[in-house]
Amino acid sequence: MKALEKVSVFAGNTFAYWVLIVAGLAFFIPEGFVWIGPYIPILLGIIMFGMGLTLSLNDFKEVFSHPKSVLIGVAAQYLIMPLLAYLLAVILRLPPEIAVGVILVGACPGGTSSNVMTFLAKGNTALSVAVTSVSTLLSPILTPAIILLLASKWLPVSAGDMFISVVKIVLVPIILGLIVKALFHKQVEQSVKALPLVSVLGIVAIVAAVVSASKERIAETGLIIFAVVILHNLLGYTLGFFAGKLFKMDFADQKAISIEVGMQNSGLGAALATAHFSPLSAVPSAIFSVWHNVSGSLLASFWGRKVNEEQKEIAKAG
């Protein structure tokens, strides 16, 4: 089990590299990965089941002890990123399928990787976990509603069908994970450290499926999508940080909100795009999966290093 834990930690630390490698292979050898496409919802369901296994009542204590902070985080999550996506799609006159894909990324809840990045940034990890958990539980209602409101300008949207999809691939697996944890607590505690490996394998497979199915369109529009995804993500970090500042949150909370807003559950975006729109609409989510882990790591390292330097200065002065 310890060997598996080490592999899991290594996979989590090198996640962005694996996504890049497999995305490259899927682009140049699409026939080797295109078969994964039909399994995208199942793969995401497994990842969400893992999230359910890691959740506990302690994760929701922050909701009750600091409800204002959690509310600000969730509101920022579901306002800033969708509106940014819509504005970028309109201003840059994106093709319909790409516009919908970008809005899909914006309308998704925060990803669990944001919790890791917040921890590394020396931010308020408890707040980050609470915002991720609440935004994820609200996603069956808010994600389809936002897509209907903002994306129907480009393509037809069935909010009802999307609601059912999100319930199936997000809510049901999380609830099952919680039930399994309650029934088999000791066994789950022993195996939970292997979950990062499962998540990495799942996201890498989803990215490979999306890239292999859209090779030709990526070759045509790849630069535009890359530019939009990077801009969307960086603006999310910036506006998330200033949202925390606006409401006079402390610096640790500001960092948590910034990272929480900027990092999305792009796996969900890819699954919904594939199921309800087209493989091309899933490409922004696939690229976001790679980029936000790179940018999040850089931002977390910068903030974490800054705190360490400040602590050293205080120690010297003392």
Report the C-alpha gap between 72 and 69 in whole angstroms: 5
Count of all residues that appear for the chain in the document: 318
- Say if residues 171 and 46 touch (Cβ distance below 8 Å): no
Report pTM: 0.84
Statement: residue 282 has pLDDT above 60: yes
Provide the pLDDT confidence category of residue 318 given band limits of 50, 70 and 90: low
Report the C-alpha gap between 278 and 86 in whole angstroms: 18
Percent pLDDT > 70 in the chain is 92
pLDDT tens by residue, 38-73: 888 888 888 888 777 777 767 677 777 888 889 999
- Say if residues 135 and 77 touch (Cβ distance below 8 Å): yes
Q: Residue 44: its pLDDT value, please? A: 81
Please give the angle made by the CA atoms of 111, 115 and 121, to the nearest 5 degrees. 130
Q: Residue 103: its pLDDT value, please? A: 93
pLDDT tens by residue, 183-201: 887 777 777 777 777 777 8
Please list, in sequence order, all residues whose beta carbon lies within 8 angstroms of the beta carbon of residue 36, skipping any fewer than 6 positions away: 43, 205, 206, 208, 209, 212
- Dihedral-angle region of residue 248 (phi above 0 means left; psi in -120 to 50 means alpha; beta otherwise): left
Q: Residue 261: its pLDDT value, please? A: 92
The residue type of 41 is P
C-alpha closest to that of 295 among 245, 253, 261: 261
Report the C-alpha gap between 284 and 286 in whole angstroms: 5
Statement: residue 308 has pLDDT above 80: no
End-to-end distance of the chain based on CA atoms, in angstroms?
Answer: 44
Report the C-alpha gap between 32 and 91 in whole angstroms: 37
Instruction: State the SS3 of the chain.
Output: CHHHHHHHHHHHHCHHHHHHHHHHHHHHCHHHCHHHHHHHHHHHHHHHHHHHHHCCHHHHHHHHHCHHHHHHHHHHHHHHHHHHHHHHHHHCCCCHHHHHHHHHHHHCCECCHHHHHHHHCCCCHHHHHHHHHHHHHHHHHHHHHHHHHHHCCCCCCCHHHHHHHHHHHHHHHHHHHHHHHHHCHHHHHHHHHHHHHHHHHHHHHHHHHHHHHCHHHHHHHHHHHHHHHHHHHHHHHHHHHHHHHHCCCCHHHHHHHHHHHHCECHHHHHHHHHHHCCHHHHHHHHHHHHHHHHHHHHHHHHHHHHHHHHHHHHHHHC
Q: What are phi and psi of 214, to 5 degrees?
A: -125, 25
Q: Residue 177: its pLDDT value, please? A: 84
Statement: residue 233 has pLDDT above 90: yes
Statement: residue 316 has pLDDT above 70: no
Q: What is the mean pLDDT of the chain?
A: 84
Statement: residue 1 has pLDDT above 70: no
Structure tokens belonging to residue 240: 């998330």
Q: Quick one: average pLDDT of 273-278? A: 84
Statement: residue 81 has pLDDT above 80: yes
Structure tokens belonging to residue 119: 């921890």
Report all structural domains of the chain as residue ranges with CATH numbers, in order of start. Answer: 2-305 (1.20.1530.20)
Report the C-alpha gap between 261 and 118 in whole angstroms: 11
Please list, in sequence order, all residues whose beta carbon lies within 8 angstroms of the beta carbon of residue 150, skipping any fewer than 6 positions away: 82, 85, 86, 103, 107
